[in-house]
Amino acid sequence: GKCTVCGYILSNPFLDVDSSSQYYDAVMWMYGEGITKGYNATQYNIGGECTRGQVVAFLWREAGCPSPKSGSCPFPDVNNQAYYYDAVTWANEEGIVKGYNDGTFGPNNTVTRAQFVTFLWRMEGEPKAKLKNNPFTDVSEGDFYKAILWGNGKGIVLGYEDGTFRPDDPCTRGHVALFMYRNFVK
């Protein structure tokens, strides 16, 4: 049927995402916009982990695949033949990703929930959080604090019923789709 979000006529190729799933609209938007083709031809893999290279490629595609201004990526562990090379180079130029203290990017490392919401926050220009109070018992002032509070205030990241955000947990493929959809579409 026609995707209510992206407006394209889509047949859902993913056997693991049905129309009653909380992830359905987000995944169909990502698929319809060409941000992802899925884990394989018939699976989106909602609970699977995303790497840092993958999510930066998603953000880059959402931005229209802009060409990096410079021809070289500053991270020695980002291979110039990798599908995410231009994406990481662009995202670093835009201040969306900064890499680790040792100068690497870690493209094959699993992206955490805190890292991914921080990438979104930086992509939006590091806006101030609407919230004054921190709703999460496991988030304290530090690297990701402003990004997580912004994301919660904007309704992008809701956290868990027990009052936690779980910043260091892997950001699943389902949550990556939801967070992007809530930020860029809703």
| Each residue's pLDDT tens digit, 111-141 | 999 999 999 999 999 999 887 789 999 999 8
Q: What is the pLDDT of residue 21?
A: 92
Q: What is the pLDDT of residue 99?
A: 94
- Encode pLDDT of 89-115 as tens digits: 999 999 999 999 999 999 999 999 999
CA distances from 86 to 24, 48, 106, 175 (A): 29, 24, 15, 24
Residue 9: pLDDT over 70: no
Is residue 23 a contact partner of residue 29, using CB atoms and an 8 Å limit?
no
Is residue 45 a contact partner of residue 39, using CB atoms and an 8 Å limit?
yes
Q: What is the pLDDT of residue 117?
A: 98
Residue 158 corresponds to which tokens in the numbers above? 């809701």
- Encode pLDDT of 163-185 as tens digits: 999 999 999 999 999 999 999 99
Residue 33 corresponds to which tokens in the numbers above? 């916009």
The residue among 79, 29, 26 whose CA lies nearest residue 53 is: 79
DSSP annotation string for 129-183: PS-SS---TT--SSTTHHHHHHHHHTTS----TTS---TTSB-BHHHHHHHHHHH
Q: How far apart are CA 24 and CA 28, in angstroms?
A: 6
12 confidence band (pLDDT: 50, 70, 90): confident
CB neighbour class for 178 (10 Å; exposed up to 12, middle 13-18, buried from 19): buried
Q: How far apart are CA 18 and CA 94, in angstroms?
A: 36
Q: What is the pLDDT of residue 6?
A: 60
Q: How far apart are CA 130 and CA 31, in angstroms?
A: 31
Q: Which of 6-10, 29-33, 83-87 has the lowest mean pLDDT?
A: 6-10
Q: What is the pLDDT of residue 143?
A: 81
Residue 4: pLDDT over 70: no
Q: pTM value?
A: 0.93
- Encode pLDDT of 39-81 as tens digits: 999 999 999 999 999 999 999 999 999 999 987 999 999 999 9
